[in-house]
Structure 1
Amino acid sequence: MNARAKRSVTEGQIYPTKHYGNITVVQYKNAKEVLVKFEKTGFETVTTAAYIRSGMGIRDPMQPYGIEKKPVPDDMQAGTVYESNLCGRLIIQKYTHVHDVKVKFIDTGHIDSFSASNIRKGAAYDPMAKNTYGVGFMGIGKYNTNSPAHQVWRGILSRCYSDKYPSYKDVKVAEVWHNFQNFAEWFENLDWKGKAVDKDLLALGRSKVYSPDRCVLLTKSENSKLNTLGYIKLLDDKEPFGKCRIVVSKTFDELDDAIDFAVQNELALRAEILKKINKVDPLKDAYGTIKARLISRLKEGDSHE
């Protein structure tokens, strides 16, 4: 049996270490001089066959665990409480080294690790903290602020939970969409380019909730048509008699004819849009529902100039 067969450490073989991951034997000169490479960092060092077999005594200075341990700083002791800039208070749970300090956010219970420097600066971030208009949070997942859904999501939350939009004071966002990850997944899995979130099509303009089962994506053109089809302009003061005109369409001598025309046009557009987005019209009596809404607008003075 030759010398190569006798030794238990061979070139190209992979061995685990106790603290630094796997190493690969690059060159074997003898049992006291073996060149190895750490998989995680590519760092090469010379060690012995005995150390390789035991997984002990081999250090990688390029890895955090390879840095000589220092005493835990006084301000990083377990139980120390810090205030973050955006996400409330957190408590130190375990200090491993300067780049790995485990913390727990007090408000949400979320556990994560940060550098000591970021903790001291208040830069530790909790993805579960409701810091977007008091309800929204980023959540844990693959979607971040670079997602095309992010500004859309913030815009919806702004309309519903800020003071800038009085007409939305009674409108809410479904709890499932408070988590940005859920909204982004819904949004990005649809044909979203050039479109906006619409909550009213399926509920015929009466929805008070943004939710995945009530919302669709519409183009600006589709949205504009839906917002004008049902508007009627009366051309004299003798309601409901005299001539009337469907906005952006045509003139009628009788109001009933104008109403029927408006309803039929809206039904046709609804059918076209719903077919395109593969949705079934949830209205059992779409004609009657649309007509009732239009008459209600007329009584309130909302559909004539």
Structure 2
Amino acid sequence: MSTPLSILDLATIGEGETATESFAASVTLAQQAEKWGYRRIWYAEHHNMPTIASSATSVLIAHVAAHTTSIRLGAGGVMLPNHSPLTIAEQFGTLETLHPHRIDLGLGRAPGSDQNTMRALRRDPASAESFPQDVQELQGYLTGNTLIPGVNATPGYGTNVPLYILGSSLFGAKLAAALGLPYSFASHFAPQALQDAVRIYRRDFKPSDQLEKPHVIAGVNVMVADTADEAQQHFDDAVRRRVVQMLGRGRTFTPEETDMLLESPAGQNLMQMVKFSAVGTPQTVRDYLDWFTGHADADELIVATQASTLEARLHSFELLSEVSGLVR
């Protein structure tokens, strides 16, 4: 398998664990992924989610970068309408200055939260409408070609932190193509528009100073284990946890009640979110990823593993690196 592999670290806070333990796990994963040959690790901005510790994305990146030496680290992504472009330029300009040639900045326009949390973030409900203009303003700060006369990002000015447009619909594909930026599609949880979005992006792509030709990163769920049964058990447990988290509204469910949630229309809809999932032994997963790369017309895959223990996640990523020929 020649397709570069990257990791989406969900910075999971497991049952009975703390955010401190989650951060330690992220450091361990990054240190091992660096040895195993993964290209990059990204962290996503989420808010008011008790099982995800990556809300202060740039701070987490800084912490992990200080404990690693070469692997690229970045946001996958920062939800730009939650912030001013200048603030994000300063944050990621600082990261790039401290850790040269290792920082990525993926940008999305979703809130990364619910409506009440949006209000707590002081986010204007209409802020997503200016996303294209905000991306260009941010890019101006990072390249040293500010669009706001007399305003520069320090640090940030001239750091040229590479931007990536994240998306799960045709909007992001069209924007990434128009701006000549790489495009990352969230097919690990929003599979429906994958092929149409990639087709439009490649068709309409305009070269830019950052990128000469299209570059597509596609997300895919991965769970690798020594046996197919073990991998399937880890995956099924992860799906069950997701359904309870998203539909349970904080309640505790018996196994029977969880089964009922899974079988409900809402539960089946959530099951469709993980349509693109490679689960099984190393060779089975490699075969699936080879197929998925062609299906997605991807230049790079970013994989997410949601096993409940750090040991299972590490083992999954290690087995994948071995079967994919990544190990250095």
TM bin, normalised by shorter chain, reads under 0.3
Structure with the bigger RCO (C-alpha within 8 Å, sep 6+) is 2
- TM-score w.r.t. the length of structure 1 is 0.21
Structure 1 or 2: larger helix share? 2
Q: Larger Rg: 1 or 2? A: 1
- TM-score w.r.t. the length of structure 2 is 0.20
Structure 1 or 2: larger strand share? 1
